[in-house]
A = this chain, B = another copy of it.
Amino acid sequence: MSAGWFRRRFLPGGPGGPLPAAPRSPRPRASPVPYRRPRFLRGSASGPAAPDGPRRPDARPVRCPARGRALPWNAGYAEIINAEKSEFNEDQAACGKLSIRRCEFGPEEDQEWLTLCPEEFLTGHYWALFDGHGGPAAAILAANTLHSCLRRQLEAIGEGMVATPPPMHLSGRCVCPSDPQFVEEKGIRTEDLVIGALENAFQECDEVIRRELEASGQVGGCTALVAVSLKGKLYVANAGDSRAILVRRDEVQPLSSEFTPETERQRIQQLAFVYPELLADEFTRLEFPRRLKGDDLGQKVLFRDYYMSGWSYKCVEKSDLKYPLIHGQGRQARLLGTLAVSRGLGDHQLRVLDTNIHLKPFLLSVPQVLGAGQNADTQHTGEGRQSHRGRAGVLR
């Protein structure tokens, strides 16, 4: 991606040429999402060269928060922009304190926000990494928005998090005398409300990104990896192929699992089985060790379908020669020949090149949320996806 394109697209008033003519739109376009690095990098230092010293040609300048500006929990962060391949980066990060205000419930008409000193109700901490693709806009929007969505979700259920177990009705009214028993039988705990809030926040943020990108005529998507510490517990929500790990002395424990076309093959194939229209006769949902060609016709080759974790042989028909729904191996594996991840935010308008096939029904914005138990005595680390290890921002 050229620096000039980036400037024209994302840096209003930048040195680039005029914006390309946009197609006629019935309403005025919103401003494009301006490009920036994570907020906490303001006034950041670049290494390894000293600020005014000569820069070695082989040195990759690492950006990290300015000296003396501590992140919550003394967290650290370092990034090299796009492994120095370009001037701009599609990835983003965010961190901060999460202040949850109290919502007091009386009769419906008396409900009002009592915005007490935030610390009086609940405070938590929030760290997030967003690995962008197709432009930086989705990752920037996610870094600007997801924590607000989460705060809103948590505030909306605040009263539910105070009681143990959570009440059936948020108002605390008991419609049926056995309500507490029903809740207890389902084993619903306060932690489940935090997990639900994270899941809903991802949905809400995805919708915000859809609206904003549609309004500004921009495109793109990003993965999202979020770590939240709340009420003495750590939660990790992941949609994409980033990874969180927990480091305890010598022990390293994964706190998330990656969602890629390979790890989610059966879910993706099953959706295509239930809804074959989604493939518009352009793709085959079956997996083969490689893409088939004319010479394979009539032969029995290895394959697997949505219901199989094992492999079998099938006689190759003409329809098997279509491009596979999931194709490639390891880091080269692609969903509909287009995306390397199967979960993330944004990408609402993403289609397979030269077709009307949308990625979105296969691409989920649903995170997997894992609780990592108590915070005490632990260090936690969220890092960019494996392939970025050498350069990605690390929260530690």
- Which residues of A come within 8 Å of B, CB atoms? 108, 153, 156-157, 160, 166, 168-171, 173, 175-176, 178-179, 182-183, 185-186, 188, 191-200, 203, 271, 274-275, 289-290, 293, 295-296, 298-302, 304, 307-313, 329-330, 361, 364, 366, 368-369
Contacts and interface: CB of A to CB of B under 8 A. Distances in A.
A302 B161 CA distance: 12
Given A168-B301, A188-B302, A183 B289 contact: yes
Given A153-B312, A166-B302, A170-B301, A289 B182 contact: yes
A141 to B, nearest CB: 20
Given A199-B307, A274-B274, A171 B312 contact: no
B183 A307 contact: no
Nearest to A371: B310
Given A182-B290, A274-B275, A309 B199 contact: yes
30 contacts: A160-B313, A168-B301, A168-B302, A169-B300, A169-B301, A170-B299, A175-B293, A175-B295, A176-B290, A176-B293, A182-B290, A183-B302, A186-B289, A186-B329, A188-B289, A188-B302, A192-B309, A192-B311, A193-B311, A193-B312, A195-B310, A195-B311, A196-B310, A196-B311, A197-B312, A198-B310, A199-B310, A307-B364, A307-B366, A310-B369
Contact of A313 (B156, B299, B366): B156
A5 B91 CA distance: 68
A316 to B, nearest CB: 9
Which one of A182, A299, A308 has the greatest number of beta carbons of chain B within 10 Å? A308
A169 B329 contact: no
A368 B289 CA distance: 22
A313 B169 CA distance: 8
A97 B183 CA distance: 49
A18 B309 CA distance: 48
Which one of A153, A185, A199, A364 has the greatest number of beta carbons of chain B within 10 Å? A199
Contacts of A175: 293, 295-296, 299
Contacts of A157: 312-313
B188 A308 contact: no
A204 to B, nearest CB: 11
Nearest to A157: B313
Nearest to A303: B196
A86 B81 CA distance: 73
Contacts of A368: 309
A308 B271 contact: no
Nearest to A200: B312
B310 A197 contact: yes
A172 to B, nearest CB: 10
Contacts of A191: 310
